[in-house]
Amino acid sequence: MKYLYVANWKMNMSFEKSITFCAQNYNRLISLSATADIVICPSFIALKSIIEIFKNSIIAIGAQNCSQYAIGPYTGEIAAQSLKEIGVAYCIVGHSERRIHYGETSEVIAKKVVLLCENNIQPIICIGETEMECNQQKIFTVLTQQIEQCIKIIHNMPCCANRVIIAYEPVWSIGTGIILKQEQLEKIFTWLAELLYAQLPNYSIQLLYGGSVSSINVSQLKTIRQIDGFLVGGASLNFESFSKIITQ
Ligand code: PGA
C-alpha cells in the first residue's frame, strides 16, 4: 500500500494562497502522486475551486471538519451532504484543535462520522493525548475513550468501502517540534493496530501519525511498521517541505 499523506492547512492559507499553491505546484503534485496517496485539506471556502483544479487527477481533496447535523438551523455550519455534492472525498474529524477550542466531544465526533459514512466521505478520525495525560500514564485510557464510539459506529454501519483511517496525533506534538520517543510511538501504534484489527476485522485500516512531521524526522517515523501515512500541518504549507516528506 502507498503511504497516505494528508496536508492539513488549517486556517493558515488564505483562499488566494490556497489556489496559487495548487495551480503552481500542480505538475509536481501529480508526479508525487505516482508513488504516494495525497489528500489536500484546505479551508471550506477553497474546497470547490481546488476540487476543480485536481478533477482529472488522483489527488484527493478533504475538508477539515463538518457539522454534526445533517440539515437545519445551524448558522455557519457545513453539512456532510454539501461536501459530498461538491466532490469532497475525505474529512478530518476530531482534530485536537476542534476538541480543545470548540469543545467537541467524542459523542459529537461520532455523529459526524455517521453523517460522513452516509455520504460516502472517508473520515480521518484524529485522536491524541495531552502532555499531562501522557505524564499521568493515561495515554491508552484517553485514546480508548476517544475512539470507542467511532469503532462501534463503523462496526454497525459499514461505509467507505470498509476503510478506516485513524490519525494518532499527541496534542503536545502538534506544532511544537516535539516528537515522542521511538519506543513510545512503536508501543502506541502496536496497541492501536491490535485494537482496530481485533474490533474491525473486515476493514482495511490505515494508521497515520501526525504532530510536527518534517522532512528531518519522517524517515525515522517511516521505520515504524504500523504507520501507513502522515497528517501534516505546518510542513504542508510549503511545497518543498511537503514534497521532501513524501520522497524521503
Ligand atoms: P503540525 O500539525 O504538523 O503542524 O504539527 C499537525 C496537525 O495538527 O494535524
* pLDDT confidence of residue 242: 98
Cβ 92 under 6 angstroms from ligand 1: no
**Probe target for ligand 1 pocket from 6, 90, 165, 231, with the most ligand atoms within 8 Å of CB:** 231
From residue 90, give the alpha-carbon distance in Å to each of 8, 124, 160, 169, 191.
Answer: 12, 7, 10, 18, 25
SS3 percent helix, strand, coil of the chain, rounded to 5, is 45, 15, 35
**Angstrom distances, CA of residue 19 to CA of 14, 28, 173, 224, 232:** 9, 15, 28, 34, 19
Whether residue 213 has its Cβ less than 6 Å from ligand 1: yes
For the segment 220-237, the average pLDDT, to the nearest whole number, is 98
Q: Which atom of ligand 1 is nearest to the CA of 175?
A: 5
Helix (H) or strand (E) holding 126: strand 122-127
- Centre of ligand 1 to C-alpha 72, Å, is 32
* Whether pLDDT at 198 is above 90: yes
Average pLDDT over residues 223-247: 98
Alpha carbon distance 111, 119 (integer Å): 13
74-105 pLDDT tens trace: 999 999 999 999 999 999 999 999 999 999 99
Average pLDDT over residues 195-219: 96
Take atom 6 of ligand 1 and give the residue whose Cα is closest.
Answer: 233
Residue having the nearest C-alpha atom to atom 9 of ligand 1: 233
Locate 84 and state its grid cell: 459530498
pLDDT at 158 over 80: no
Counting from 1 in the atom list of ligand 1, the atom nearest the Cα of 6 is 9
Average pLDDT over residues 153-166: 88
236: which residues sit within 8 A by CB, 6+ positions away?
A: 5, 7, 8, 9, 242, 245
Cβ(64) – ligand 1 distance below 6 Å: no
Give percent of the chain with pLDDT exceeding 70. Answer: 100
> Per-residue pLDDT averaged across 125-152, rounded?
96
Q: Which residues are catalytic?
A: 95, 169
Confidence of residue 1 (pLDDT cuts 50, 70, 90): confident
Ligand 1 contact, 231 CB (< 6 A): yes
What CA–CA distance (Å, rounded) separates 222 from 215? 11
- Please state the pTM of the whole predicted model: 0.97
Lowest pLDDT segment from 40-54, 70-84, 159-173 = 159-173
- Name which of 5-14, 158-167, 189-198 the model is least confident about: 158-167
Find the 158 Cα to ligand 1 centroid distance in Å: 29
> Is the distance from the beta carbon of residue 154 to the nearest atom of ligand 1 less than 6 Å?
no
Using the atom order of ligand 1, give the atom closest to the CA of residue 8.
Answer: 9
**Residue 213 Cα: closest atom of ligand 1:** 3
